[in-house]
C-alpha cells in the first residue's frame, strides 16, 4: 500500500506508506562484558561496533551540520534535497524536490526557533508561520524540533552492526520502527513502512569520527529496490541560516 502527502505551497510533507512482507524486527543484542583474558567473541565484537556507530550518529546529530539526500521512492518517484540543521540553536533550512510519479513538486523551508518560512520555489514568495500556534504533528505546516531529519529515529532503529573497515559500518535497520512517523530517507523523511524486513545499511565516518554518509536499501515485495543516500558535512561549523528579507504572513485558516 502506498500513500502520499504531496508537497504543497506551505508544506514539505512527502510522507507515504510502504507495505511488504511480515517479519518482526529482532531486538538489539544485549551488551556483553569483555574479559581481558579471553578472546573477543563475535557477539562482543558486534556489540562494540553497534555502540561505536550509535555514539558517532548521536555525536553527529548533536552539532551543526549540512546534508544532502538522494533517494528512490515507490511508484517511480525520486526525492532530492539539501539542508542545514543546528538543534541546539534551533536553526534549520532545507530545499527538497520530488520528481516522477503522480505528485512531483518542490519546497523550501527555513525554521528559526518558532518561526517558519516556506515557499515552493525561488519564483514564489516566502510565507511566515508562527509554529507556536499550530500543532507540531500537523502534517501540512507543523514542525517538531525533536528530530526534523529523521537521524535520531534511524539511530534508534539500528539492529545488528558489523565494522567492515576503519571508517565503515554495515548492518540492519528496522524501517518499521517508527510507526506512522517517517524517518527515511534521512534528511528528507518521506516514507514509513509496514511489515518490511530489517534492511541493510552502510554508514561511513571520517577520521574524526563524524558521520559522513548513510546508505539504506529497502526491498519491498511489490516494487523495485529503493536506494537512499544521505551525505553529511561541516560538522560543528556555524550555519548561516537567516530569515528571508521579504515574506508574507500565513492566512489565519492555517491556525484553525
Those residues whose C-beta lies under 8 Å from the C-beta of residue 230, and which sit 6 or more positions away, are 67, 68, 69, 71, 185, 186, 187, 213, 214, 215
Per DSSP (E only), the strands in 127-250 are 127-130, 158-165, 168-173, 191-194, 199-205, 211-218, 226-233, 248-249
Average pLDDT over residues 109-115: 98
- With 50 as the cut, is the pLDDT of residue 115 above it? yes
Alpha helices of the chain — where are they, by DSSP H?
42-61, 151-156
Phi, psi of 131 (to 5 degrees): -65, -25
Q: Which of 108, 127, 102, 101 is nearest to 254 (CA)?
A: 127
216, 199 Cβ separation under 8 angstroms: yes
Side-chain half-sphere exposure of 48, counting CA atoms within 13 A = 10
* The CATH number of domain 40-248, selected from 3.40.50.720, 2.50.20.20, 3.30.530.50, 2.40.50.1070: 2.50.20.20
- Its pTM stands at 0.84
Side-chain half-sphere exposure of 198, counting CA atoms within 13 A = 14
Tally: H helices and E strands in the chain:
2, 14
Cα–Cα dist 145/167, whole Å: 29
> At 13, is the pLDDT very low, low, confident or very high (cuts 50, 70, 90)?
very low
> At 56, is the pLDDT very low, low, confident or very high (cuts 50, 70, 90)?
very high
Q: Where are the domains of the chain?
A: 40-248
> At 22, is the pLDDT very low, low, confident or very high (cuts 50, 70, 90)?
very low
Amino acid at each position: 500500500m502506498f500513500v502520499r502527502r504531496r508537497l504543497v505551497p506551505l508544506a514539505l510533507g512527502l510522507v507515504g506508506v510502504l507495505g511488504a512482507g511480515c517479519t518482526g524486527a529482532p531486538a538489539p543484542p544485549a551488551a556483553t562484558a569483555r574479559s581481558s583474558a579471553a578472546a573477543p567473541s563475535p557477539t562482543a565484537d558486534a556489540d562494540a561496533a553497534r555502540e561505536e556507530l550509535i555514539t558517532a550518529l548521536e555525536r553527529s546529530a548533536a552539532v551543526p551540520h549540512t546534508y544532502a539526500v538522494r533517494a528512490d521512492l515507490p511508484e517511480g518517484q525520486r526525492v532530492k534535497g539539501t539542508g542545514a540543521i543546528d538543534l541546539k540553536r534551533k536553526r534549520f533550512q532545507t530545499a527538497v524536490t520530488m520528481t516522477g510519479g503522480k505528485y512531483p513538486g518542490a519546497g523550501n523551508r527555513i525554521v528559526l526557533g518558532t518561526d517558519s518560512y516556506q515557499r515552493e520555489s525561488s519564483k514564489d514568495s516566502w510565507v511566515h508561520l508562527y509554529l507556536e500556534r499550530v500543532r507540531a504533528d500537523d502534517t501540512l505546516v507543523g514542525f517538531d524540533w525533536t528530530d526534523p531529519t529523521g537521524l535520531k529515529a534511524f539511530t534508534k532503529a539500528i539492529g545488528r552492526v558489523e565494522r567492515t573497515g576503519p571508517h565503515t559500518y554495515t548492518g540492519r535497520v528496522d524501517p518499521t520502527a517508527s510507526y506512522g512517523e517517517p524517518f527515511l530517507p534521512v534528511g528528507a523523511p518521506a516514507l514509513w513502512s509496514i511489515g518490511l524486513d530489517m534492511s541493510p545499511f552502510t554508514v561511513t565516518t571520517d577520521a574524526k569520527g563524524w558521520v559522513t554518509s548513510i546508505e539504506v536499501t529497502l526491498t519491498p515485495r511489490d516494487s523495485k529496490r529503493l536506494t537512499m543516500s544521505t551525505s553529511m558535512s561541516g560538522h560543528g561549523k556555524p550555519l548561516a541560516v537567516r530569515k528571508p528579507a521579504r515574506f508574507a504572513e500565513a492566512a489565519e485558516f492555517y491556525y484553525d
